[in-house]
Amino acid sequence: MEGPTPVSALIHAATMVTAGVYMIARTHVLFDHSPFALGVVAVVGAATALFAATIGTVQNDIKRVLAYSTISQLGFMFMACGVAAYSAGIFHLVTHAFFKALLFLAAGSVIHAVGGEQDLRKMGGLWRTLPVTFAISTVGVLAIAGFFPFAGFFSKDAILYAAFEHGMLGRALWVSGLFSALLTSFYVFRLWYLAFLGRPRSYTGRHHATPWTMLGPLVILALLSIGGGWIGIERFSAFLAPATGARRVEGGGGHLEMILALSTTAVALLGLLIADWLYRRRPDAPAELAAALPHGYKLLAHKYYVDEIYGAVVVKPLLGFSKFILEWVVDVAILGGLAWLLGGIAMLTGAILQRWQSGNLRSYAAWLAAGAAALLLFVLVPWATVLASLSAIHLGMAGH
Amino acid sequence: MNEINQSILTLILLVPLAGAVLVALAPDRFKLPNWIALLTALVAFGLTLHLPAHFLLGRGGFQFEVNRPWIENPVIHYHVGVDGLSLWLVVLTGLLAPIGIVASWNAIKERRKVFYSLFLVQQTAMFGVFISLDLMVYYGFWELSLVPMAILIAMYGRKDGPKAAMKFFLFTFIPSAPLLVALIWLYIQTGSFDFTTLQILIAHGSFPAGAIYWVALAFLFAFAVKVPVFPLHGWVADTFSEAPVALAMVVAGKLGLYSMLRFHIGLFPEQARAVAPWVIGLAVVGILYGACLALVQRDFWRLMAFAALSHLSLITLAIYGMTLTGWDGAVYQILNHAVVDGALFILLGALYDQYATSQINAYGGLAAKLPRTATLFVISALAMIGLPMLGGFVGEFMILSSTFSGVSKSWTVAAALGVILGAAYMLWLVQRLFYGPESQMATSKPPHDLKVGQLVVLWPLAVLMLVMGLAPSLWLASIQTGVHPPQSRIPNLSPQSVLSISSLGEAQR
């Protein structure tokens, strides 16, 4: 997200963030053996979708909104994998690639046009100056929000349907997913209203016309975002069947399918209406709402303090432990102390022995004399006699 | 060709030594010592390349072998040879010498004759360690490798050279004493210093069980300090901070690790197996301990020291995991680690020469000013972390997978945690040196990016990291012939022939 916008588009749409979903689908043989692991995947996915969508509703950086949206959509894909609807997950991965790349590139076009400004609060009214970008972004927004007949509708619907069919846990996932879809619709329309509609607010940069080299790819992506969903989940599952297995037939048709599809569309519409109410009719309402719920707003604005929690739970303790316990106590005090002690003993022995080699002639002479005396003593003393008399004394004492 | 094969190892030993003499005799003018040393090192490197070119893959045992009686009493032979285990280590030693000389080209300004002459002696000593197959000759080279190192650290230390040199010398020299005692004990028992003979005799002969255990332990102790293995790493941080780049590149790791494989596990497989759980435990502690300490270092030399402790402990873990894949991976990782560490040392040395500080927080935002340094540093750092497609991945993967399947799952998890921490401290180092806001020091000094001379050695190293990541079989094919279990290298040996060798020893005594 911090990278150059085309790089963000590539990373978010295609390569990095979707690797996990691909890996689960690829190794589904393993996951199929463990319903528990699948359940974890599903719950984590649903939680991620909800968690990131709520954060996305209060971000003001245009690219940041899209980044959290990616995380949220990734949650949808995981949820699909978790209910063993791998082809639905991959289907959403594909359609998401179309409209997310589109939205990121459109955001790049917008940022380029307003002189590098990324703050949504300072944009506004861009539909007039960037009509093509506006039109294309509208396609992207409708697609991600899940409006029929755009691409996002088909894949999101397939996921929610698969979840609904997945027993009790599935129903809970479906409710959570539906709510996340509502939030998705809300935050993208919020972005849409803030950036393109209303009056121009305080962006300072001069307008750059967007060149066709930037718009060309956008048009292609827009066409895919409109038509990409018509592949249909049935055909897509059949296409993936050799890789993901064909046990599950998603999208059976019938009443249930119809009702679920309608509910998906309904929440998308609801999201649009809320955004419309908050950002068009009552522009003061968002600020009032934030003021009315200061704690909730702060929690979302700080992304649930996840970074802070990691910092406090993992990074700081690890660094503190390494610094104070491992480095100071173990390395410096204990191991360093031991080495110092060993070195100290060697030095001390050396210092004592060094006294012999003082370099002082008189001292050498004294040692020489002492040595000669000791040697003479050793040679001249009749040790045998001395020892004999000593032992005699000893024996005599013992005898008494 | 046969004659070349016969004399190639002797030439490899003699060329750096001759260069050392030449440097000592030549006048210290016009960078003459630098050029002589560089040419000698290049010739020696060229000679080492003869080895892989004519190495016969299908054949086990030693090749390019020379075995001549040298001293009659005690029986010492000039016995040298290489197998798959030592082959690439010899080439690596040859490769790192010219690189080290180029890295010192402008950094060493005073007493160049002493520096380059001792550097070349050190080179001979390291070659000798890798090719000697007579334990006394090996011991001589092993000791010889310590001396130039200690002198050079003392002379060219950055702040307190003599103290670091003293520490280095005591730490590495004291364990050599038990090693010598153990060698002499072995000689008294068997009448031979010859590696292959001893291998057979120890495998088949009967020794006092307690004594041979202690002898093996003396071997291990000497090698463990040199690797280093936790908690014997006390010398590393000071040595890395003080040693000139060319020496810091080679001081840790390969000599000790190679010796463990060849002379501890190779000679005393049973005894090594008995202590293996302990060594593995220490290795895992070392992996995590080194990584944790590397995280909190403020000085990049010290960071590199603890990073080396962590990485070398991982290799130690693989060696004492006693699996064939682990041994292959260990040797491969020795090569890879030396290449990557070499590149990183040259780059850090270039930074140090320019800014005269190794405090990490004095740096920052250098990527825009020093794009070449930053690029090469990032590549090397990624290779160190073990990014797939670069050399580190192959070695680490072989080590971790063999430990997982052959040793212990929980140890593997701990070791893998160390690998993750390794990514943390390396990337954090990259970020603090090259990215973020430009530091005051970076803005106040005119930037000097890498020069042609440095690029000429660094880019090949970077390419080598890539090739080592993409085509490991180029190296592994020959490494694998070397790390077969020692038993399989003693083919069809009847107890009679062992007896005759053993009685030969008796007679000679």
Q: What's the distance, CA B22 to chain centroid? A: 26
More confident residue, A114 or B332: B332
Q: Which of B167, B234, B296 sits opposite A327 (nearest CB)?
A: B296
Question: In chain B, which residues touch A (CB < 8 A)?
Answer: 167, 170-171, 231, 234, 289, 292-293, 295-296
More confident residue, A245 or A279: A279
Closest CA to B90 of B37, B33, B197, B11: B11
Query: Could you tell me the pLDDT band of residue B480, with boundaries at 50, 70 and 90?
Result: confident
CB atoms within 10 A of CB A381: 10
Per-residue model confidence (pLDDT) at position A397: 64
Q: What is the mean pLDDT of the segment spanning A237-247?
A: 76
How far off is chain A from B184, nearest CA to CA, in Å?
25
Q: Please list every residue in chain B whose beta carbon sits closer than 8 Å to the beta carbon of residue A336.
A: 234
Distance from C-alpha of B288 to C-alpha of B282, rounded to nearest angstrom? 10
Whether residues A318 and B295 touch (CB distance < 8 A) is answered with: yes
pTM over 0.95: no
Please give the share of chain B, as a percent, with pLDDT higher than 90.
51
In contact, B300 and B348? CB cutoff 8 Å = yes
Q: ipTM value of the model?
A: 0.75
Q: Please list every residue in chain B whose beta carbon sits closer than 8 Å to the beta carbon of residue A326.
A: 289, 292-293
Whether residues B296 and A331 touch (CB distance < 8 A) is answered with: no
Per-residue model confidence (pLDDT) at position B348: 92
How far off is chain A from B358, nearest CA to CA, in Å?
19
> How do residues B260-290 score in pLDDT, each as one tens digit?
999 999 899 888 999 999 999 999 999 999 9
Distance from C-alpha of B113 to C-alpha of B97, rounded to nearest angstrom? 16
Distance from C-alpha of B76 to C-alpha of B56, rounded to nearest angstrom? 28
Work out whether strand B76-82 and strand B63-71 pair parallel, antiparallel, or are unpaired: antiparallel
- Which helix (H) or strand (E) segment holds residue B166: the answer is helix B161-173
Query: Could you tell me the pLDDT band of residue A396, with boundaries at 50, 70 and 90?
Result: low
Distance from C-alpha of B476 to C-alpha of B465, rounded to nearest angstrom? 15
Q: Which of B170, B231, B293 sits opposite A322 (nearest CB)?
A: B293
- In degrees rounded to 5, what are phi and psi of residue B68? -125, 140
Q: What is the mean pLDDT of chain A?
A: 84
Distance from C-alpha of B10 to C-alpha of B322, rounded to nearest angstrom? 32
CA distances from A57 to A9, A101, A217 (A): 20, 20, 28
More confident residue, B448 or B314: B314
Alpha helix stretches (DSSP H) within B227-253: 236-242, 245-251
More confident residue, A244 or B71: B71
Per-residue model confidence (pLDDT) at position B490: 43
Q: Please list every residue in chain B whose beta carbon sits closer than 8 Å to the beta carbon of residue A335.
A: 231, 234
CB atoms within 10 A of CB A231: 16
> How do residues A27-74 score in pLDDT, each as one tens digit?
988 998 988 999 999 999 999 999 999 999 888 899 899 999 999 999
The residues, ordered by sequence, that sit 6+ positions from A361 with a Cβ below 8 Å of its Cβ are none
Q: Give the range among A198-207, A318-327, B297-306, B324-333 with minimum mean pLDDT.
A: A198-207
Per-residue model confidence (pLDDT) at position B26: 87
Q: What is the mean pLDDT of the segment spanning B137-148?
A: 92
In contact, B125 and B71? CB cutoff 8 Å = no
The residue of chain B nearest to residue A337, with distances taken between CA atoms, is B234
Report the range out of A216-225, A278-287, B441-450 with the highest average pLDDT.
Answer: A216-225
Whether residues A322 and B296 touch (CB distance < 8 A) is answered with: yes
- In degrees rounded to 5, what are phi and psi of residue B27? -75, 155
Per-residue model confidence (pLDDT) at position B249: 86
Per-residue tokens: A101: 């790349």
> How do residues A354-385 score in pLDDT, each as one tens digit?
777 777 788 888 888 898 888 888 888 777 78
Query: Could you tell me the pLDDT band of residue A207, with boundaries at 50, 70 and 90?
Result: low
Residue to mutate among A322, A324, A325, A331, with most B CBs inside 10 A, is A322
Q: Which of A327, A335, A346 sits opposite B234 (nearest CB)?
A: A335
The residues, ordered by sequence, that sit 6+ positions from B71 with a Cβ below 8 Å of its Cβ are none
How far off is chain B from A27, nearest CA to CA, in Å?
19
More confident residue, B4 or B495: B4
How far off is chain B from A2, nearest CA to CA, in Å?
13
Per-residue model confidence (pLDDT) at position A47: 94
Q: What is the mean pLDDT of chain B?
A: 87
Whether residues B234 and A322 touch (CB distance < 8 A) is answered with: no
Asked if residue B228 has a cis previous peptide bond (ω within 30° of 0), the answer is yes
- Which helix (H) or strand (E) segment holds residue B69: the answer is strand B63-71
Q: What is the mean pLDDT of the segment spanning B362-383?
A: 90
Whether residues B292 and A318 touch (CB distance < 8 A) is answered with: yes
Q: What's the distance, CA A309 to chain centroid? A: 13
More confident residue, B128 or A254: B128
In contact, A1 and A104? CB cutoff 8 Å = no
> How do residues A168-205 score in pLDDT, each as one tens digit?
888 999 999 999 999 999 999 999 998 888 777 766 55
How far off is chain A from B297, nearest CA to CA, in Å?
8
CA-CA-CA-CA torsion for B213, B214, B215, B218, nearest 10 degrees?
130
Per-residue tokens: B248: 């810091």
> How do residues A269-312 score in pLDDT, each as one tens digit?
999 999 888 888 887 888 888 888 888 888 888 888 888 899 89
Q: Give the range among A10-19, B104-113, B151-160 with minimum mean pLDDT.
A: A10-19
In contact, B81 and B63? CB cutoff 8 Å = yes
Look at residue B218 and tell me whether its pLDDT is greater than 90: yes
Residue to mutate among B174, B295, B299, B309, with most A CBs inside 10 A, is B295
Look at residue B151 and tell me whether its pLDDT is greater than 50: yes
In contact, B382 and B390? CB cutoff 8 Å = yes
Q: Give the range among A4-18, A273-287, A294-308, B433-447 with minimum mean pLDDT.
A: A4-18
